[in-house]
């Protein structure tokens, strides 16, 4: 039940990105770092539960940015995937040899090469962070970023036909969770409003103060009490809160005939819900959840990582990843929670590429 928020409304930062990764707390995850050669230009956290070691969010020294959220499915047939969703993010981030290629051309190749087949439902934000080639003030505006989903009415073809191109002008604020971009969950609406308010009140504040306000948004908790509730109630509650406090997912229910399938199918992120007496499976996992078979006796779930990315007018990135729980589901000490990485985007002052 991750959430992505972004804005171009700050006068000093052409782009600000916020992300919560909500996950089973025992799922093994590597903290954000630069990857090993030949991909040492990529900076991201990595999922270690599947052999692909993909990611849900990453950025490169050349300014390629990608963030993925799973799509909330209504059936197991739609949700189960042969391949890791994180491989889609990796594909975009590793395309550094094609620095002059556009985001749009990459999306065409993604569909033409068959990489969409065997992948579960997802939404993806991706783009190349560059000053706008068409703006009168290029350092204030960026080339547009794409938001695509393979669960549109056009199916996989929606990656091309239903792409949203955003963040190309000042004053935009957007959000995305586990539904379609133009059909936001309540938590996304809350997040957009809080982000707009935070930016409006940020005049005169230092970067550290701005970061504090942005992390406060990611920690905004309006989660209804779900202790002792069934999975359907838990699932609905997750749609309403930006921050997900730790809770234990539902134990066995009459609908599962004594078997706790939310644990047995934890690798697919299954939440079993009762709907008018019928058993309905909702697959709303974070990236790469479908095929891995790790099981832990504690079914603890919640916001595991928070990330804020600031991009200033000079092409400097400030990437802050905050880890709230370690891989043993123990709270991380405040002094050890944050990983901070700052770097200049290569080629920022070169002639901008066109991404839309």
Q: How confident is the model at residue 250 (pLDDT cuts 50, 70, 90)?
A: low
For residue 167, list its beta bridge partners. Answer: none
Per-residue pLDDT, averaged over 317-344, amounts to 97
Domain spans of the chain, in order of start = 3-223+300-344
Per-residue pLDDT, averaged over 54-83, amounts to 82
Residue 354's pLDDT is what? Answer: 45
The CATH code of domain 3-223+300-344 reads 3.60.60.10
Count of CB atoms situated within 10 Å of the CB of 230:
17
Distance CA 88, CA 116 (A): 8
DSSP assignment of 226-260: -TT--HHHHHHHHTS-SS---EEPP---GGGTT--
Average pLDDT of the residues of the chain:
82
Residue 134's pLDDT is what? Answer: 78
Among 102, 61, 66, smallest CA distance to 347 is for 61
Classify residue 268 by its DSSP letter.
G
**Would you say residue 75 has pLDDT above 90?**
no
What percent of the chain clears pLDDT 90, i.e. is strictly above it? Answer: 59
φ, ψ (nearest 5 deg) of residue 137: -125, 75
Q: How confident is the model at residue 100 (pLDDT cuts 50, 70, 90)?
A: low
Per-residue pLDDT, averaged over 21-37, amounts to 95
Residue 26's pLDDT is what? Answer: 92
Q: Are 211 and 199 in contact (CB under 8 A)?
A: no
Q: Kindly list the distances between the CA atom of residue 239 and the CA atoms of 2, 186, 264, in Å, as whole numbers in the listed order.
A: 10, 6, 23
**Would you say residue 29 has pLDDT above 50?**
yes
Q: At what angle do helices 186-200 and 207-218 cross, to 10 degrees?
A: 160
Residue 179's pLDDT is what? Answer: 93
Higher pLDDT, 352 or 254: 352
N- to C-terminal Cα distance for the chain? 29
Residue 273's pLDDT is what? Answer: 30
Residue 258's pLDDT is what? Answer: 34
User: Is 303 exposed, middle or buried (CB count within 10 Å of its CB: 0-12, 13-18, 19+)?
Assistant: buried
Distance CA 254, CA 72 (A): 23
Residue 118's pLDDT is what? Answer: 75
Residue 97's pLDDT is what? Answer: 53
Residue 236's pLDDT is what? Answer: 85
**Please, which residues have CB within 8 angstroms of residue 349's CB and are 6 or more apart in sequence?**
315
What is the tens place of the pLDDT at every residue in 290-324?
A: 334 455 667 899 999 999 999 999 999 999 999 99
Residue 162's pLDDT is what? Answer: 85
Residue 52's pLDDT is what? Answer: 86
Residue 219's pLDDT is what? Answer: 98
Residue 297's pLDDT is what? Answer: 61
Among 216, 218, 213, 225, smallest CA distance to 243 is for 218
What is the tens place of the pLDDT at every residue in 197-215?
A: 999 999 999 999 999 999 9
Tokens 């957007």 label which residue? 174
User: Is 111 exposed, middle or buried (CB count within 10 Å of its CB: 0-12, 13-18, 19+)?
Assistant: middle
**Would you say residue 9 has pLDDT above 70?**
yes
């Amino acid at each position: 039940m991750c959430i992505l928020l972004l804005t171009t409304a700050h006068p000093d930062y052409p782009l600000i990105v916020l992300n919560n990764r909500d996950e089973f707390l025992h799922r093994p995850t590597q903290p954000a770092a630069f990857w090993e050669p030949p991909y040492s230009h990529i900076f991201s956290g990595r999922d270690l539960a599947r052999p692909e070691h993909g990611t849900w969010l990453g950025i490169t020294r050349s300014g390629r940015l990608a963030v993925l959220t799973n799509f909330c499915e209504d059936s197991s047939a739609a949700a189960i995937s042969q391949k890791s969703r994180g491989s889609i993010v990796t594909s975009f981030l590793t395309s550094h040899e094609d620095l002059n290629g556009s985001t749009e051309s990459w999306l065409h190749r993604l569909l033409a090469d068959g990489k969409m087949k065997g992948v579960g439902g997802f939404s993806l934000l991706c783009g190349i962070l560059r000053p706008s080639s068409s703006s009168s003030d290029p350092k204030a505006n960026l080339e547009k970023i794409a938001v695509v989903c393979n669960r549109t009415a056009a199916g996989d073809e929606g990656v091309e036909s239903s792409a949203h191109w955003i963040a190309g002008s000042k004053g935009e604020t957007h959000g995305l969770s586990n539904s379609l971009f133009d059909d936001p969950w309540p938590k996304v609406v809350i997040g957009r409003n809080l982000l707009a308010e935070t930016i409006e009140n940020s005049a005169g504040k230092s970067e550290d103060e701005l970061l504090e306000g942005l992390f406060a948004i990611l920690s905004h908790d309006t989660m209804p009490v779900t202790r002792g509730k069934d999975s359907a109630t838990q699932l609905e509650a997750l749609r309403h809160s930006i921050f997900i406090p730790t809770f234990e997912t539902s134990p066995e229910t009459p609908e599962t005939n004594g078997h706790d399938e939310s644990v047995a199918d934890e690798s697919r992120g299954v939440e079993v819900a009762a709907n008018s007496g019928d058993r309905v499976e909702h697959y709303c996992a974070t990236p790469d959840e479908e095929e891995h078979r790790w099981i832990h006796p504690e079914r603890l779930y919640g916001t595991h990582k928070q990330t804020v990315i600031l991009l200033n007018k000079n092409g400097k990135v400030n990437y802050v990843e905050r880890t709230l729980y370690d891989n043993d589901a123990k709270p991380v000490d405040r002094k050890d929670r944050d990983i901070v990485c700052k770097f200049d985007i290569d080629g920022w002052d070169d002639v901008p590429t066109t991404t839309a």
